[in-house]
Amino acid sequence: MSMIRPFDPTDILRFNNVNSDAWTATYHNGYYASYTAQWPDFCVAVEGAFDPSIKAYMIAKHEPPAPDPQHHGHLTALSIAPEYRSLGLARTLMNLLESLSGSNPRISNHNHIPEDEHDHSNCGGHHDHHPHAHGDEAEVEVDSEGSQEGNIDGVDAWFVDLFVRCNNKRAIEMYEKMGYSVYRRVVDYYHGMEGIGSTRDELDGFDMRKSMPKDSTKRYVRFNGKDILVSPDQVWA
Ligand SMILES: CC(C)(COP(=O)(O)OP(=O)(O)OC[C@H]1O[C@@H](n2cnc3c(N)ncnc32)[C@H](O)[C@@H]1OP(=O)(O)O)[C@@H](O)C(=O)NCCC(=O)NCCS
């Protein structure tokens, strides 16, 4: 059995098993503390019930504050320890983010993932502008299919977005399966964060988006996003 609970800033002292992955960025310590202070309910860790090591975590936020027309949920980091992949954890954490970002989350106290779920079987980057405070902590109840039940309102944002290296095929395919599509390609988004190499696809990032229910006309997504090239400056503008 594993538990999803709020990310604690001290989790960074024991998440090396998750972060020693070429696709996962490790930020400075204050970065995680800042997120947990401002968006505690958007930052969660998965921990074994009987084994205190970190199995997975999600760092996320929503910005700029509503009623700004760009108000959106943003996935900054999502990483699953290698031995815990393909068990539905990423799906579960993304469901949580979408519940918190959308208008109809289904959230309640305490989240437990049955052990047999395990047996059968970073995303963000520099996107760190518009800091602001938000929200109460929340834990989620997740059933065996990864859906959540409960009664805490979401922030009713227009969309959820994330950045992913253009050559992170597994993650891109996973997000597409979850309903995300490329909104634009940010050239050199990962400049200075080479890590896994420096080919064009390693340095560029796809900005992927999924409309939330509030965006009923789908005006925040586009279908030719891979052809839209922008610079990082245009993203921060
Ligand atoms: C990418 C990553 C987060 C996936 O986590 P995971 O826990 O293995 O994913 P899940 O088991 O929850 O799978 C989620 C969905 O994606 C699908 N999926 C997983 N890998 C896939 C692949 N290579 N191709 C297509 N679909 C895939 C699964 O089938 C599942 O769909 P379903 O819920 O309909 O069955 C994980 O491999 C990881 O941590 N990678 C390193 C860090 C990273 O790249 N993070 C993303 C940066 S933006």
Ligand 1 within 6 A of 94 CB? no
Q: How far is the CA of 6 from the centre of ligand 1 (A)?
A: 21
What are the backbone angles phi and psi of residue 103, rounded to the nearest 5°? -100, -10
Mean pLDDT of all residues in 192-199: 77
Instruction: Collapse the DSSP code of 177 into the 3-class scheme (helix H, G, I; strand E, B; otherwise coil) and give the result.
Output: helix
55-59, 103-107, 135-139: least confident range: 135-139
Give tens-digit pLDDT for 120-133. 337 765 555 433 33
Instruction: Report the range out of 116-120, 147-151, 233-237 with the highest average pLDDT.
Output: 233-237
SS3 string, 113-144, reads: ECHHHHHCCCCCCCCCCCCCCCCCCCCCEECC
Helix (H) or strand (E) holding 16: helix 16-19
> What average pLDDT does this structure show over 216-231?
97
> Total domain count for the chain?
1
Cβ burial of 63 (10 Å; 0-12, 13-18, 19+) is: buried
**Residue 140 pLDDT greater than 50, yes or no:** no
| 112 phi, psi to nearest 5 deg | -130, 135
pLDDT of residue 135: 37
Q: Between 195 and 221, name the one with better pLDDT.
A: 221
For ligand 1, is residue 2 a contact (CB within 6 Å)? no
Q: Is the pLDDT of residue 163 over 80?
A: yes
Poorest-pLDDT segment among 147-161, 165-179, 220-234: 147-161
Residue 124 CA, closest ligand 1 atom number: 48
**Do the Cβ atoms of 11 and 18 come closer than 8 Å?**
no
For the residues 135-158, what does the mean pLDDT come to? 56
Q: Identify whether the C-beta of residue 126 lies closer than 8 Å to the C-beta of residue 112.
A: no
108 pLDDT above the threshold of 60 = no
Whole-model pTM: value is: 0.84
Residue with tokens 């997120």: 35
3-class secondary structure, 233? helix
CATH number of the domain within which 142 lies: 3.40.630.30
Say how many CA atoms lie within 13 Å of 102 toward its Cβ: 18
Tokens of 196: 């896994």
Amino acid, single-letter form, for residue 195:
G
Cα Rg of the chain (Å, integer): 17
Ligand 1: does its nearest atom lie under 6 Å from the Cβ of 152? no
Residue nearest to atom 28 of ligand 1 (CA): 174
* Averaged pLDDT for residues 164-190: 97
Cα(114) to ligand 1 centroid in Å equals 19
Nearest C-alpha to atom 44 of ligand 1 is from which residue? 23
Whether the pLDDT of residue 154 is over 70: the answer is yes
The CA distance from 169 to 202, in Å, is 11
Average pLDDT of the residues in 57-77:
97
Res 2: pLDDT: 86
Q: Determine the 3-state secondary structure of 109 from DSSP.
A: coil
Domain extent at residue 110:
2-236
Q: Whose CA is nearest to atom 9 of ligand 1?
A: 90
155 near 73, Cβ under 8 Å?
yes
Residue 98's φ and ψ, nearest 5 degrees, are -70, -35
Which ranges in 152-193 belong to alpha helices (H)? Answer: 169-177
DSSP class of 65: P
Which of ligand 1's atoms lies nearest the C-alpha of 88?
12
89 Cβ inside 6 Å of ligand 1: yes
* Closest atom of ligand 1 to CA, residue 85: 8
Quick check: 187 and 233 in contact, CB under 8 A? no
Please report, rounded to a whole number, the percentage of residues in the chain having pLDDT higher than 90. 69
Choosing from 16, 57, 85 the residue with most ligand 1 atoms within 8 A of its CB, the one to mutate for a pocket test is 85
**193 CB under 6 A from ligand 1?**
no
